[in-house]
Amino acid sequence: MKNSVKATLIAIAVTIVLLIAGIVFAISQQQPAAPAEGGEPQQTVRTDSHVLDDGGEGAVTVVEFLDFECEACGAFYPVVEDLREKYDGEITYVVRYFPLPGHINSTQAALAAEAAGQQDRFEDMYRRLFETQAQWGEQPEETPEVFRGFAQDLGLDMGAYNAAIADPATAERVQSDKADGEKLGVNSTPTFFIDGEKIVLQEWDDLEQAIEKAVNG
């Protein structure tokens, strides 16, 4: 093998290792949730929270606080999709916004998802954002036109979409999720709660094990 080819392969391998290490570090930084004043737990789900799967009465409730631009969230997206399919009918899966300040487009992406949700298309935008994360993530400035393009591709009413994006209430809705997350002790994404209990992730299968335990408990 030529030295130049070998060097390239080594460089690629090192990049992959560093990326995985970064993701593992990010999810390992999560700390136990802080109780509210008076020792009462905070709400992990509200009446306006986005429910992707409703398992019905008695189902285990899984809540994810996410940032659509977060690479760790993007890495967990296919894992979450597999778990949603595996535990279909046994869990209620809820997603909530937690845009991080270091991600330029994270709030714009959340606004796009919320605007789509007002047209009952939240999950379609949710999927589109994660499937295209590599295209719009890590940009030097906000790119709302990219998300507007996604809305057009999904066939949304663009007048209603634009109005929702411009409405301060849409941004307030996103920030209310983040405020709840902060009260719950969320400081990184993704952060998961199962039946109100924060799950500390150290291994890739910790989430599945926690769900399995809750379902069979």
pLDDT tens digits, 47-58 = 999 999 999 999
pLDDT tens digits, 12-47 = 443 443 344 444 444 434 434 444 444 445 789 999
Q: Which CATH superfamily is domain 50-216 in?
A: Glutaredoxin (3.40.30.10)
pLDDT tens digits, 75-85 = 999 999 999 99
The three-state (H, E, C) secondary structure of the chain, written as one string: CCHHHHHHHHHHHHHHHHHHHHHHHHHHCCCCCCCCHHHCCCCCCCCCCEEEECCCCCCEEEEEEECCCCHHHHHHHHHHHHHHHHCCCCEEEEEEECCCCCCCCHHHHHHHHHHHHCCCCHHHHHHHHHHCHHHHCCCCCCCHHHHHHHHHHCCCCHHHHHHHHHCHHHHHHHHHHHHHHHHCCCCCCCEEEECCEEECCCCCCHHHHHHHHHHHC
Q: Are 71 and 24 in contact (CB under 8 A)?
A: no
Give the dihedral sign, CA 56/74/116/123: negative
**Per-residue pLDDT for 106 more than 60?**
yes
Predicted pLDDT of residue 41: 58
pLDDT tens digits, 144-164 = 999 999 999 999 999 999 999
| Phi, psi angles (nearest 5°) of residue 186 | -70, 130
Instruction: Look up the pTM and report it.
Output: 0.82
- The residues that bridge with 64 in the sheet, in sequence order, are 95, 192
